[in-house]
Amino acid sequence: MNEKIIYPSIDLFLYDLKDGLGEDETKINGNCQDFCRKIYGDLKKASFQEKYQEFLKHKNNGGDVIELLGKAQKRGFPSPLDGYYYPLQIGDTYALQVDYSGQLDANGEPNYANQDIDNAPFKKLKEEITNRLSQQTGTIGQTWLLWGKLTNTKTETEVEEIAKECYTKIVSDYKWQRDFIGKGKFQEGTIFELWYCPQNLGVDGKEFWDEFRKSSYHILIWLFPEHISPDEMSKQVQNVYYDLLRLWQYRHKVVWSYYQSRYQKQILKKEYIEIQPSINQTIELPKLLQTNSLKLSKLQETLTNNLINLSDYTIALNYLENQSRIIPLNLENYKSHLADIEAKYTSSDLEFLKKFSESEFYGKKYQRQVEADYAILSPGLTLLQNLNNTIQGIIDLEQTKSDRTLNTTIAIAGVGLATSQIASAVILAQPNDYQQHLRFRAEVFGWSVGIGVFFAVLIFIGLRFRR
């Protein structure tokens, strides 16, 4: 396609988690350091540490939005690159906007002012940003905004064909119909939204999200008509930067939270499978009790393992419940913020952006799925608690029976010993000239033992008869 884009530019909106649920001080400091490295990764160690400490000062700041570079606000790319970093701390999230329009010539004008689409200008701009970030992606997510001006008047169909061509140049596994979400009008330009959402990544569990965030692409392509001046185009885009920065934050928090819930669901299902032998064993307990074949040590071992499973299950279920709250909260924030943008730019048509929060394929599906998972898996906690209470009750009962038997044995032995001592004392108290003889003492010992055994047996029979 022999089409040109005037002043092609690209913006990256990237989001990192500042402090997640349950993260300690070391992890929180590490999150801050990783985010700081995206902006100052090119500095030497001493200079980087200085910048990192400046970022770290804000970690406990309760403000809603904090500009991490203070009055400077932005850090520019080294000359002659026309780009900058704009980092923010928004609640529990680090947000970064990276803007780049190419190299400037000796007069301060962009060298990429008029580019053929076939030369993939957006791809080159994107590669420069990813290289400067050392291929790092956002831990929560990221959005790319491609924008530029057309050379002459185009029909709606022709504008969409140009957007398709731009998309194919920056995404390797592209399918327009698969990834296309919608299009609309934003100020004087036509804007398209696409999302490449990979599923079969060959990994599972916690590693899935790490691969997902590296492979997925949320992309906006914003093309302006030929009659608008470059300055006016740039002004219109810059006016919406902050609004878009907040909007995409809510969007990515929803997606991130949904995939975190998938991981917690896997943990819960695994824990449920691991307790099945204990459930089966509990079903057999009545038979074991009747046949006196119950092993107390085996039961205690089962209880120990179940307590560990209960702890893991409780933690995972709490995390799942937390995600079930994060998703609707951020969906509402997304809707509310989008409504504010629509009210601010009344001439725009951003209906397509509502699909994320209202469509059955995105936000609504995520919310219902997590709520359903929690409703299905939460009874497992009650089952585990009841199972452990049952096993603990049987252990206590068997322990009590064992202690009672031991006490009875000690009592019988005590009676026998006391009786034999009394008998011995009585016999020895009788007058006898030979009581000092060894034979006499042996006879006394035999009689005392016999009498003691007799009374011990008598007590044992009496207790058995009473029971």
pLDDT band for 141, please (50, 70, 90 cuts): very high
pLDDT band for 244, please (50, 70, 90 cuts): very high
Say if residue 53's pLDDT is above 50: yes
Among 57-71, 102-116, 124-138, 309-323, name the most confident range.
124-138
pLDDT tens-place string over residues 347-389: 999 999 999 999 888 999 999 999 999 999 888 887 777 777 7
* pTM for this predicted structure: 0.82
Q: Would residue 174 be called left, alpha or beta, if left means φ above 0 and alpha means ψ between -120 and 50 degrees? A: beta
Residue pair 70/78 in contact by the 8 Å Cβ criterion: no
The half-sphere exposure of 371 on its side-chain side, counting CA atoms within 13 A, is 10
Q: Name, in order, each residue with C-beta under 8 angstroms of 22's C-beta and a sequence gap of 6 or more.
A: none
Lowest-pLDDT range of 19-23, 220-224, 405-409: 405-409
Rounded CA separation 190/233 (Å): 12
Query: Can you tell me the mean pLDDT for 209-224?
Result: 94
β-pair type (141-150, 217-224): parallel
Residue tagged 């060298």 (tokens): 111
Say if residue 404's pLDDT is above 70: no
Query: Can you tell me the mean pLDDT for 30-52?
Result: 95
Q: Name, in order, each residue with C-beta under 8 angstroms of 59's C-beta and a sequence gap of 6 or more.
A: 18, 19, 28, 29, 32
What pLDDT score was predicted for residue 93? 95
Rounded CA separation 18/52 (Å): 14
Rounded CA separation 11/8 (Å): 11
pLDDT tens-place string over residues 68-90: 998 888 999 998 899 999 999 99
Query: Can you tell me the mean pLDDT for 6-12?
Result: 95
Query: Can you tell me the mean pLDDT for 240-244?
Result: 97
Query: Can you tell me the mean pLDDT for 200-217?
Result: 86
b/e burial code for range 420-446 (CB count within 10 A of at least 16 → b): beebbeebeeeeeeeeeeeeeeeebee
Q: Count other Cβ atoms within 10 Å, centred on residue 269.
A: 14
- Amino acid letter, 33: Q
pLDDT band for 438, please (50, 70, 90 cuts): very low
Per the prediction, the chain carries an average pLDDT of 84
What pLDDT score was predicted for residue 338? 97
Q: Count other Cβ atoms within 10 Å, centred on residue 300.
A: 14
Residue pair 144/218 in contact by the 8 Å Cβ criterion: yes
What pLDDT score was predicted for residue 403? 52
Q: What is the DSSP-derived secondary structure letter of residue 104? A: B
